[in-house]
Amino acid sequence: MSLRHPGYAFEQGLHELGNGIYAWLQPDGGWGWSNAGLICDSGQSLVVDTLMDIPLTEAMLAKFREAESQSMKAIDMVVNTHHNGDHCNGNCCCGNAQIIAHVLTKEDIPKEDSSAIMAIIKAPEDYGDLGAFLKHSFGAFELQSIPERLPDRTFETELMLKVGNKDVLLKHVGPAHSNGDTLVYVPQDKVLYTGDILFIEGHPIMWVGPVSNWIEACDYMLSLDVDVIVPGHGPVTTKAGVQAIRDYFVYISKEARTRFDAGMSFEEAARDIALDDYSAWGDAERIAVNCATLYKEFGSTEEIGMGTAYALMAKLFVEHKRG
């Protein structure tokens, strides 16, 4: 079953969804190649997420202005769906727009530090598998000298905005992928922007959990009156994409629990869990982080930092590439 919306090709750039609603897509949807959106009505505009670096964001905003010259004379609002750099590093490109995010997103943005990754990318050969993995994942981006711009306005549970005459609902569904995971729903147009609560044709990564929150977020999305869903990464989808991510987390949670109870380490579980049904999805190395997060939920006291997480994913990435 295809998870792609039949009306929209997965091609780089601007995609009109109708009635002043747009998606900005970045194939292949892997590390850093995130999606964004634009909502316009009656001369007002709201941008959903900015991109990994300044050149990518400026190119996107230029196309937004071409498509909606009246509404985009000045950006009115920007919503950051969470704190990862590929969804907020371009905030500095948005002029006097009001930046809106969940309160935990605002707290977490300053904790994002790409300096260690940048140092490794400059000399990847010195870092073995980790260098190869990070160069592959982030080498295409200009991560130096990005001015940090934090949200101006925050919310805790949900917030209803007005873009012209359109209602736009911000709904907090985290912690799951991150602490501040936020959905952006336009009920009048039956369009939903999910941030990284949805990765389509790519393995999701659960940095925070618990898994129950992610499954509940999927149930919430499935309950909405929505026809077009723009994921954080990957092609535009329908509720079939939501169901696929829900099924994935139900599956790996069950499989990880079985291995936890059998005394296997999370690294052993990550290698042992069969991903045959998801073999066409990219970034399979993320199973290492997902298992680590699940094990912590199951009661494991073993902590892994960001460096260890990337090192484990690098090992799996290289093994998959060779195998």
Q: List pLDDT tens digits, range 259-286.
A: 999 999 999 999 999 999 999 999 999 9
Spatial separation of the C-alpha atoms in residues 260 and 181, rounded to whole Å: 27
Phi-psi map region of 234: left, alpha, beta (phi>0 left; psi -120 to 50 alpha) = left
Chain center to CA of 49:
10
Token readout for 169 is: 């609902």
Share of the chain above pLDDT 90, in %: 91
Which candidate, 119, 116, 88, 114, places its Cα nearest to that of 101? 88
Q: List pLDDT tens digits, range 78-119.
A: 999 999 999 999 999 999 999 999 999 999 999 988 888 899
Overall average pLDDT of the 188-217 stretch: 98
**Rounded alpha-carbon distances, angstroms, from residue 123 to 78, 119, 135, 319:** 35, 7, 9, 21
Q: What is the per-residue pLDDT for 303?
A: 78
Q: List pLDDT tens digits, range 300-322.
A: 988 788 888 999 999 999 988 76
**Alpha-helical segments (H) within the chain:** 54-67, 103-108, 115-122, 128-138, 211-223, 239-261, 266-272, 287-298, 306-322
In this predicted structure, the answer to whether residue 31 has a pLDDT above a threshold of 80 is yes
Does residue 87 sit in helix, strand or coil? Answer: helix
Q: What is the per-residue pLDDT for 323?
A: 57
Q: What is the per-residue pLDDT for 30?
A: 98
How big is the CA angle at 185 (ends 182 and 191), to the nearest 5 degrees? 130
Share of the chain above pLDDT 70, in %: 99
CATH value of 13-322 in 3.40.50.10420, 3.40.50.300, 3.40.190.80, 3.60.15.10: 3.60.15.10
Q: CB 287: neighbour CB atoms within 10 A?
A: 25
Overall average pLDDT of the 210-228 stretch: 98
Query: What are the structural domain ranges in the chain?
Result: 13-322
How big is the CA angle at 201 (ends 199 and 202), to the nearest 5 degrees? 55
Whether pTM exceeds 0.95: yes
Spatial separation of the C-alpha atoms in residues 51 and 92, rounded to whole Å: 11
